[in-house]
Structure 1
């Protein structure tokens, strides 16, 4: 039996809600982490959570086993890296607006979250969150639900790496980036070819070849090494092999 997890770009995948500046309430109140909270409970949240703004390349917070935070990205994007030693860094993934920051534990002794562009987060110290959740049980339930959503996305990416061709992996990552940025005409990849390869289990050279193929086929065009315009979203999604994967998983 094959365990089926919706790919992040599949039609039935659920994207995290991305707050917009059009809301009258503060952006964080629209996030699923705070769904179902009363006005009094939302007011209590502001005593524990604070907003922090980061410039490109700025690290949110160095964390170890005894420190960390619970939070969400309001605007912008963060990259998450695990550091096994001083010189070696392993890219875990990206968190775009609306996403939950990665929970940490003893298997991530050193962990860093770095802004890829102008970024705003809404965070609470991890050691203070239990006291808040004790007063707002719904908040603890929401955290579990959102963490499970992140785990499902991670499982989907592992399936991408194990069951798909190089083209399907690269097209899938580009489709994810486009979706998380609201499908603009031009998207930012943010990452080097080496980092993209780390996410897709491909060499940087293979990533470059697949992007050039998509460009040659008229599906996208490169505005710069890290920015590209998607000319045909339907063909890009077809290149992810969603239909073939669904048949395989069934």
Structure 2
């Protein structure tokens, strides 16, 4: 890890700052060490649409974001490690395990992307919101309380729902005792098993 840290560039971003990854100079590889990044794409109407979130300890490919004409923005105080392609290839040659670890990380994130497409394509509104919260809780490391500094409109863009529907579904989960929301941007998962049951996924996928 020390070798990787010496080769990677570590940068800290304040809330709302854009990741410096423009054009051909965009970093090849990135890892979010703390905080969170949001990926937004401009719409033909001149607005932006939230496509994805990258949590702490997840990898990202800034060049791919640039090709898709997306913007990466920090959510809260965020620390990101990046490197260029040549540096990463040198590291991978010196540390063969790095390539395998990266492959496993990418496979996990591809599986998450597939799950998200299933969420948007086949699930009901209640299943979408429950699935989103379960996913966020797992990717956060199953903390006692999650910090989600995003609006209900943002969450609606992620789930393909209106902000009113997202708000209604989250209030229903809170009323049922599955979650608690001490603040609009704070969520406590009180019953992870029951919340997972509402996702419509197979029981075998519930984390132990």
Q: Please indicate the TM-score interval, normalised by the length of the shorter structure.
A: 0.7 to 0.9
CA distance in 1, matches of 2:165, 2:204: 21
SS in 2 for 1:117: strand
Aligned counterparts of 1:113 and 1:131: Cα–Cα separation in 2: 26
Contact 1:174 1:189 in 2 (8 A): no
**CA deviation after TM superposition for structure 1 residue 157, in Å:** 0.4
Task: For structure 1, list consecutive stretches of 5 or more residues without a partner in the other structure.
Answer: 1-28, 30-41
Q: Tell whether the 8 Å contact from 2:65 to 2:71 is kept in structure 1 after alignment.
A: no
Partner of 1:187: 146
Shift of 1:131: 4.7
Shift, 1:174, TM fit: 1.0
TM, length-normalised to structure 2:
0.83
Query: Residues 110-153 of structure 1, C-alpha deviation per residue, up to 9 Å, x if partnerless?
Result: 33222212221221134643454455555345434422322221
| Alignment-derived partner of residue 204 in structure 1 | 163
Structure 2: which 5+ residue stretches go unaligned?
none
C-alpha RMSD of matched pairs (Å): 2.8
Larger strand percent: 2
Give 1:159 deviation, angstroms: 0.6
Paired position in structure 2 for 1:121: 80
Q: Separation in 2 of the partners of 1:172 and 1:118?
A: 26
Matched, 1:165 2:133: no
Which residue of 34, 46, 58 maps to 2:17? 58
Q: How many residue pairs get matched?
A: 205
Match of residue 33 from structure 1:
none
TM-score calculated relative to the size of structure 1: 0.70
CA distance in structure 1 between the aligned counterparts of 2:145 and 2:100, rounded to whole angstroms:
37
